[in-house]
């Protein structure tokens, strides 16, 4: 039986917020790590995406916070901007019952000016990528003298992305008298090395994936060459008609090839890989998460921080070289008790990778017969379109302003309005295709916060 949050020595405001969010009981990683985190111990948490680790360290650092001391007291380092945004959003949500807490996101790929301005006004909690945090530290814009909590989130991916030197420099500038929390989906030797150097008698918490094996149907297919892979992928997508599917590839080049081929075959598809500009990556994530696009083709690193409900299908177009990454990939489907499908393609040279997956998951991989391409099925067509508005948080535009403009001013049915995503200088809203043109006209001709903003459809 899971322990309730009320059994912890948390601030009343935090318990009240958790209750209002419907979070009564802890996940396994929270149950095992939070008591130690609240005692001030260093903790290494190993758990997959969806295990609840973000809430675990967020509750820890918020408990450590002295709100009246307007200094940087917590620093959370993440591998990608997408994940940093997600983490900052969760911290703000959990902190909403405590007044005047300032959380700043500092990531590469974003203009320096607004970040410098925000830093001049101060903050309690910084969330960011190592490179950009180090830039600000080097210029003296961040002072870590009063830091009490350092969090390394998805530390394995930060090392994969070459952040080792930046991490070392940041940690060297942090006070030695602090709490360090390290979370990682995998635990390679490099992580153990960092933990030994920068943590004090860390407590190791390791939890199994929160996805029960029974909720994910895993199927392997033998393939011969890329043409065979492309045909099989098309057959699977036509047969299962997923509203949302992620296709994993190992390289940026393969991502581009697969996305181009699917587009050529009539699928609603978008790619996500490291060579894309930050604006393109933001738009790809927004359109996939709000269901304006059905298929996302991505590398592992790019897909970190992906926040999508009800992912119907995951396809390993290429098997990962790391069996833990394989488990991490397939764990993105079949969440919250829903049934998920994971399909993996095996080539002639993949014997070693297959053996690693078999050993790690304690399964026997038996290739299945490939499905026939359905003759009458058409590629899944998303029901939403995405409108970009050239105004965001900096212009004080809020989601409620956009929703009000569409429902009250234009008289559109609120059920036909999808996700609204806010960024500093822009906003995105998903609208049902049936009302898309009317919604766009309202946002172009009407007013938000008493002024007009440019608005346009985002194309794939």
- Residue with the larger pLDDT of the pair 310 and 216: 216
> Could you read off the pLDDT of 148-189 as tens digits, one per residue?
999 999 888 888 788 889 999 999 999 999 999 998 877 777
pLDDT at 1: 56
**Is residue 109 pLDDT above 70, yes or no?**
yes
Nearest to 357 by CA among 325, 334, 331, 332: 325
Nearest to 244 by CA among 297, 175, 293: 293
pLDDT at 211: 45
Q: What's the CATH number for 5-206?
A: 3.40.50.300
Please report, for the chain, the start and end positions of each structural domain, with discontinuous segments joined by +: 5-206, 213-361, 384-457
Task: Give yes or no on whether 5-206 and 384-457 have one common fold.
Answer: no
- CA distances to 3, 21, 38, 98 from 24, rounded to whole Å, are 9, 9, 18, 19
User: Is-above-0.85 flag for pTM?
Assistant: no
- pLDDT bucket at 304, cuts 50 / 70 / 90: low
CA angle, 427 then 431 then 433, to 5°: 140
**Mean pLDDT, range 186-211, rounded to an integer:** 79
Asked if 55 contacts 181 with a C-beta cutoff of 8 angstroms, the reply is: no
Name the DSSP letter for residue 398.
Answer: -
**Mean pLDDT, range 53-71, rounded to an integer:** 92
Concatenated DSSP letters of 272-333: E-TTS-HHHHHHHHHHHHTTS-SEEEE-HHHHTT---S---EEEESS--SSHHHHHHHHTTS
> Could you read off the pLDDT of 123-134 as tens digits, one per residue?
999 999 999 999
Lowest mean pLDDT among 49-63, 69-83, 145-159, 211-225: 211-225
Neighbour count for residue 434 (Cβ, 10 Å): 12
**Is residue 354 pLDDT above 90, yes or no?**
yes
pLDDT at 359: 86
pLDDT at 307: 64
pLDDT at 385: 95
- Residue with the larger pLDDT of the pair 445 and 209: 445
**Is residue 82 pLDDT above 90, yes or no?**
no
- pLDDT bucket at 49, cuts 50 / 70 / 90: low
pLDDT at 28: 86
Please tell me the distance from the alpha carbon of residue 40 to that of residue 181, in angstroms, as a whole number: 10
Provide the percentage of residues in the chain whose pLDDT is more than 90: 58
Please tell me the distance from the alpha carbon of residue 134 to that of residue 32, in angstroms, as a whole number: 32
**Mean pLDDT, range 309-318, rounded to an integer:** 86
In the CATH scheme, what architecture does the domain 384-457 have?
Answer: 2-Layer Sandwich (3.30)
Question: Residue 419 phi/psi, 5° resolution?
Answer: -65, 145
Lowest mean pLDDT among 250-254, 287-291, 295-299, 333-337: 333-337
- Residue with the larger pLDDT of the pair 74 and 423: 74
Lowest mean pLDDT among 78-82, 176-180, 334-338: 334-338
- pLDDT bucket at 210, cuts 50 / 70 / 90: very low
Q: To the nearest whole number, what is the mean pLDDT of the chain?
A: 89
Q: Which fold has domain 213-361?
A: Rossmann fold (3.40.50)
**Is residue 21 pLDDT above 90, yes or no?**
no
Lowest mean pLDDT among 45-54, 79-88, 194-203, 259-268: 45-54
What does the radius of gyration of the chain's CA atoms come to, in whole angstroms? 23
Please tell me the distance from the alpha carbon of residue 267 to that of residue 72, in angstroms, as a whole number: 47
Please tell me the distance from the alpha carbon of residue 57 to that of residue 47, in angstroms, as a whole number: 13
pLDDT at 182: 94
**Is residue 116 pLDDT above 60, yes or no?**
yes
**Is residue 212 pLDDT above 50, yes or no?**
no
Concatenated DSSP letters of 198-226: H-SSPEEEE---SS-GGGEEEEEEE--HH
**Mean pLDDT, range 283-295, rounded to an integer:** 92
């Amino acid at each position: 039986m899971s322990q309730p949050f009320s059994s912890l020595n948390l601030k009343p405001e935090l318990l009240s917020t958790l209750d209002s969010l419907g979070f009564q009981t802890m996940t396994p990683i929270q149950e095992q790590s939070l008591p130690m985190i609240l005692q001030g111990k260093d903790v290494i948490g190993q758990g997959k995406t969806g295990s609840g680790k973000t809430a675990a360290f967020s509750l820890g650092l918020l408990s450590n916070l002295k709100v009246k001391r307007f200094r940087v007291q917590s620093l959370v380092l993440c591998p990608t901007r997408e994940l940093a945004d997600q983490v900052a959003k969760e911290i703000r949500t959990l902190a909403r019952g405590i007044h005047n807490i300032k959380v700043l996101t500092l990531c590469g790929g974003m203009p320096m000016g607004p970040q410098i301005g925000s830093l001049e006004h101060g903050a309690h909690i910084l969330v960011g990528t190592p490179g950009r945090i180090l830039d600000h530290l080097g210029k003296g814009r961040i002072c870590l003298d009063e830091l009490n909590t350092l969090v390394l989130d998805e530390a394995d991916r930060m090392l994969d992305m070459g952040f080792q030197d930046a991490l070392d420099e940041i940690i060297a500038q942090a006070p030695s008298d602090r709490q360090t929390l390290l979370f990682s989906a995998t635990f390679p030797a490099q992580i153990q090395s960092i933990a030994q150097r920068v943590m004090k008698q860390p407590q190791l918490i390791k939890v199994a994936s929160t996805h029960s094996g029974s909720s994910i149907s895993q199927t392997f297919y033998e393939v011969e060459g890329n043409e065979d892979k492309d045909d099989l992928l098309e057959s699977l997508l036509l047969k299962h008609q997923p509203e949302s599917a992620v296709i994993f590839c190992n390289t940026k080049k393969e991502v581009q090839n697969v996305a181009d081929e699917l587009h050529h075959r009539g699928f609603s598809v978008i790619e996500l890989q490291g060579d894309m500009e930050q604006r393109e990556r933001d738009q790809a994530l927004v359109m996939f998460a709000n269901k304006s696009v059905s298929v996302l083709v991505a590398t592992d690193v790019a897909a970190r921080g992906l926040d999508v409900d009800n992912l119907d299908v995951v396809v390993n177009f290429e098997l990962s070289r790391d069996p833990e990454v394989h488990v991490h990939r397939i764990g993105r489907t079949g969440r919250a008790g829903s049934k998920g499908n994971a399909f993996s393609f095996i080539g002639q040279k993949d014997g070693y990778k297959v053996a690693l997956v078999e050993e790690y998951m304690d399964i026997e991989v038996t290739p299945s017969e490939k499905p026939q391409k359905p003759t009458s099925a058409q590629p899944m067509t998303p029901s939403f379109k995405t409108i970009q508005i050239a105004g965001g948080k900096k212009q004080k535009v809020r989601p409620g302003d956009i929703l009000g403009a569409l429902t009250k001013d234009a008289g559109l049915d609120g059920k036909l309005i999808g996700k609204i995503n806010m960024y500093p200088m822009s906003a995105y809203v998903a609208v049902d295709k049936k009302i898309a043109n009317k919604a766009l006209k309202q946002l172009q001709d009407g007013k938000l916060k008493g002024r007009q903003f440019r608005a346009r459809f985002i194309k794939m």
